Amino acid sequence: MDLSAKQVRLLCLPTGAFFDTESSIPWNSLEDGCLKNIQLDHNISPILWDRSTNNPAKRIETLDVVPSARWRIDGSDNQGAQFHVVPIFTPTPSLKRIDVFIPSQECHPPHLRNALNSAWAFCLRDSRVASLGLARHIIRALENWTNEVGEDRIAKGWEDAPYGSRIEIDRICANPKDMICTFKYDYYLEDCALSLSALQSMWGYPLSVYPDTIDINTLTLIRQLHDTISLVSLPKSGKREEVIFKSTTQDTRYLYHELKLLLAMPEHAGIMSRPLYLVTGKTRHGEEKVFGFILPYYRRGNLADILGHGKHIGSLSLKDQLRWARQVTQTLKVINSPPAKFYSELKVDNLLVNEDGNIVFIDFEQSGQFAHIIYPETLLLKQETG
């Protein structure tokens, strides 16, 4: 049975055993795509003509790959309601972290949710999501929008938009031409981001601790790997070309907290190195603020992928597994000492493997498993005293 993201979340709760998937599935309006909370009447057949896939007015014309598409989807987030898109009709689009947002899956017409494989967007977050019918449907809606508005106008809107803005699609319907796309400028990140001088004043670290700054407009996006992870290239220089840009489109507190820990923790082979650069950009008021930082890119990927692939082809060796286990234990001992004191994101996805085949810990936001509620003092941005 096809379930929406909201139903999956309900099933994951301790009370999920008592969740009735049959009577709890709400019917949706196929005209406006909005939830009407109409209780399902079991005495009436749900296979009505206006909801039938045999009705030409409600049928999706095609879910094939869009030929010569001018947009690309690199991944998704927010339980399949947020998609990382890149306009590829401009040579080098600015790195603005502008995502496409669609209504949550419980607002999709049931027959379309099934046809588009919407529920899979809840599970897939990387580039594989682009193969889903839902992603291709979104691309068609963006293509129609581009035809109507014009490439130049959209490119101008993209350039002028503040960092962390969004493109909203009002509904999911059979005909992508009926899905209205709208640019939404969002100044939240600009307003809550801090300048380098503000961070220096709060933390009290000597200037020698901070890396050099680099302007966000000089970075070129290669691919969006995760909601907070962008694979980018630096301006041509003698340094590494492909690097990771760590940023956020939500709460900057966790981003700055991770930056503070990376600057304060002792260098260790098993811990992500200090940032190579701080990434700054000017706001609409002309202020220079920190939007993220640059980290090395580990091409071999994370331990989850390596274990899965190795198990599949039978290449995992006991020697490597024991070495990785020892490295994880040794690194955790270092992390559990000040200033970090604990690590809340211990999962194989956050254990990268470097070129030498050794484990490197990443993701020190300390936002997982409600760590900020259990240990609220760890999220203080101000310099600890005493």
**136 found inside a domain:** yes
Same domain, 245 and 312: no
Q: Helix 252-264 to helix 196-203 angle, to the nearest 10 degrees?
A: 60
Tokens of 379: 């999220």
**379 found inside a domain:** no
Same domain, 123 and 247: no
Same domain, 218 and 126: no
Same domain, 166 and 17: yes
CA distances from 274 to 57, 78, 289 (A): 56, 29, 19
Same domain, 154 and 295: no
SS3 of residue 212 by DSSP: coil
Alpha helices in 51-195 (DSSP H): 110-115, 120-123, 133-149, 151-160, 188-192
With a cut of 60, say whether residue 138 has pLDDT above it. yes
Same domain, 208 and 335: no
Same domain, 199 and 152: no
Same domain, 198 and 173: no
pTM: 0.82
**383 found inside a domain:** no
Same domain, 180 and 193: no
Final residue in a domain of this structure, among 186, 221, 251: 186
Distance in angstroms (rounded) separating the CA atoms of residues 361 and 347: 10
Q: In sequence order, what are the beta bridge partners of 245?
A: 230, 294
Binned at pLDDT 50, 70 and 90, residue 13 comes out as low
CA distances from 123 to 8, 158, 223, 303 (A): 10, 29, 20, 19
- The whole-number average pLDDT for the span 346-358 is 95
Final residue in a domain of this structure, among 299, 327, 354: 299
Residue 22's domain comprises 1-186
**378 found inside a domain:** no
Same domain, 120 and 219: no
Same domain, 146 and 42: yes
How many domains does the chain divide into? 3
Return the CATH number at 242: 3.30.200.20
With a cut of 90, say whether residue 373 has pLDDT above it. no
**29 found inside a domain:** yes
**200 found inside a domain:** yes
**386 found inside a domain:** no
Summarised one tens digit per residue, pLDDT across range 178-229 is 999 999 999 999 999 999 999 999 999 988 899 999 999 999 999 999 999 9
Final residue in a domain of this structure, among 121, 152, 186: 186
Distance in angstroms (rounded) separating the CA atoms of residues 138 and 369: 32
pLDDT of 36: 39
Distance in angstroms (rounded) separating the CA atoms of residues 314 and 328: 23
Distance in angstroms (rounded) separating the CA atoms of residues 167 and 158: 10
Same domain, 53 and 25: yes
**211 found inside a domain:** yes
